[in-house]
Structure 1
Amino acid sequence: MLLAIVVASFWLTRLSERQFDEVVAARETRSAAADLLSLAQDAETGQRGYLLSRDVAYLGPYMNAVSRFDTTLQRLKETVGATDATRSEFNRLEGALRSKLAELAQVVALAERGAWEEAIAAVRQGPGRDLMDEARAGLSAILSQSEQRLQHAIAGQEAASARLRWTIVAGAVALILFAVAAFWTIARYTREISAARNEVAALNVGLEQRVQQRTEALTRANEEIQRFAYIVTHDLRAPLVNIMGFTSELEATAAPIKAYFEAGSSAAPAALEEASTAVNVDLPEAISFIRSSTRKMDGLINAILKISREGKRVLRAEAIDLPATLEAAAAAVHHQATESSESGGGVIVECQPLKIRTDRLSMEQVLGNLLDNAIKYRSPKRPLKVVMRGRREKSGWVVVEFEDNGRGISPADHERIFELFRRSGTQDMPGEGIGLAHVRTIVRNLGGDITVSSELDVGTTFTILLPPDLGAVQRSSTT
């Protein structure tokens, strides 16, 4: 743009200079033509005055005109133009002027010799007037043409000057606009750099937080593995010890039976009674205890397999309307929650409109388990009331709270209830102690965590913290 402005300004300046030169040339032509016409008139006037007064003093204008004639004529010739028509007109004008000067000189010469009457007769009869009229007409034409050239050149100069002014103004405006655009671009680029730096700083902080969270999660997982190993070895060892003990008892029970059959008909009544006791009492009891221990082992193994399968299941992130999901979970247990509740009881949903991307099946399992526990461990002293709340934190994470007015959990058991095969409080309800352990496994698979706060005989609140997008968590875990 600057180059275009410079080129345009230079061209318009040169055009203005050419128009100015044309103005000067037209003025010079007009001035030379006017001077030449004035000289011709002065020469003729001097001649006439000299003839009338016969005083040599009147020849002053004539002599002055004659002395300046050639110089003025040459000046006019240089400025008059270069076309063929102009040269032809100038040649006719020059011939008429020179003929007029020759006629004037002839008359003056006659007068100087004293032939006054002859000189006056030459003026009256000679071609002097026609030559003067022709010269005056030619010079008038040149004056008219030069005036037109002058007006045209002035108009062209004014137009070139106006264009130059507008070019400068437009160029200045364009440069200002470019400067503003450049400033805006630089400012935006600076803001983007600043935002990028802030984002990098935030990412660094977030990375440190994620590393800390991952470290804490790995620590918790390691602790859980250790507890899990202890629980598995302890809980599986107990039924195995029972099986081993009652197997030894079976061996001991077989001894009197064998002795009775070996004695045959000669067996003593005491041997018969001992064998009968072993068959009817000791043997069924041992088999019953062995069967009970194997059932317990089978339940423990199935629970372990259930949690193991949950950890291996492929999670599918999809958009979930959280309020609608909570309402659906509440509707599924509505009958159980309200069968003994009075007005104001049951399951209440208080959730702001929000959507998250997570695994729908896992979310439904978590909600179902927590609602089943709230219904199962309701307080007999008051109607059941469960409030499910959902909100989005400033950090973007989603918080889901389950608040009930049930029996409550002892502070010492707040962490213990999430362990496998562990239960809290009075064991008057059926269960294996895997529900909350399963819930925590699911929540952590979703990239979140679950905590509990409770007071005995007041109620319990489970707080679930979930990421807004499971897909982002999965991508982060793979990088």
Structure 2
Amino acid sequence: MPISGKATTAMPVGLGAQISDFFSKLLNTADWPPRWHCGTWTDFHGWLYILSDVTIWASYFAIPVFLIRMLTKRTDIPFPKMIWIFIAFIVLCGTTHLVDAIIFWWPAYRLSALIRFFTAVVSAVAVYALYRVMPLILSLRTINELEREIKERKQAEEKLSQSHQQLKAFTHILSHNIRNHSSNISLLTSLVEPEQLDESNAELFDKITKVSRNLNHTLDDLAQAIRIRETYIAPESLSFDDVLNKVLEVLEPEIQGTDAKVNLNFKADSVLFPRLYMESILLNLLSNAIKYRNEDKIPDISLSTFKDDAGHVVLECSDNGLGIDLNLHSKKIFGLYKTFHVHKEAHGVGLFLIKTQVESQGGTISVESIEGEGTTFRIVFA
């Protein structure tokens, strides 16, 4: 209602004209008196209103400051986008209260309406966003649940550590005791002269000698596995070319004897890893690729290195050999004394040692294979 004595301004009729008039006069306050002069305000009532609005505005602006500081200091806080939406919502709500207080002197009702519109839009967005993330929020574990889980994990780790220590002690004792008996058997067989035995005893003696030799090999493998798991070997910067050249020298007779092709593609030139382990890994991978070759094909072996998306160096060894039936052997492929093809030199130790050496340095090994077509081993270094 216009104030008595003040000229009445003609109102735009169409919606488009009203919108144009609204924005063209956004900061124009000529159409309204200050709120102090609109109605009957006592000083107490007016200042109670003003100070309350200003306090709300100050608080609404302080809360986002703390939230922004929290987001910048702790990047692991869940749902950061949701928090930013609420920061915008709180700032706009505070602004409506500030403008409401200012209107007592400066009646910018159009500006107030526009700010309230923005607040309404952001409020609706906040409601929708909260609706979307509510299932995720409700699925978060409570502090009590996390503390209970941590306690259970610690208890499990303690039990596992105790079991590991017991197993290690048992393995040492077993290895030591069997080694003594094995050494005695080897010593006794060395004292026997086979040519003095008759044919039947000579055959039996030969079997005893083989069993004794195999037992010693088994104990050596067991001791090596224990040594790898218990002994820390400091990694060093290795050149794949340097290590491979040494391994190829060792395998030169096998490579020439089978006309094997070894293709190299080292996109990652080096890696931080113990030299002794790397030589053993490459030797086992290449010798297995030659040993378990397809007799109808010339061995075609590929060694490649590269960096994955996480920046880890990856080594891949592929061949066109016999392959492995993963449906049958996938769970035991890296087990000790596990063999998958008949071969006189198959002992089932190489893959077990590779896995043990890789994991001792925090890496992982995986395999892909198609029976009759070939196998690919992938090692991801830590």
TM-score by length of 1: 0.38
Q: Which has the higher helix share?
A: 1
TM-score by length of 2: 0.47
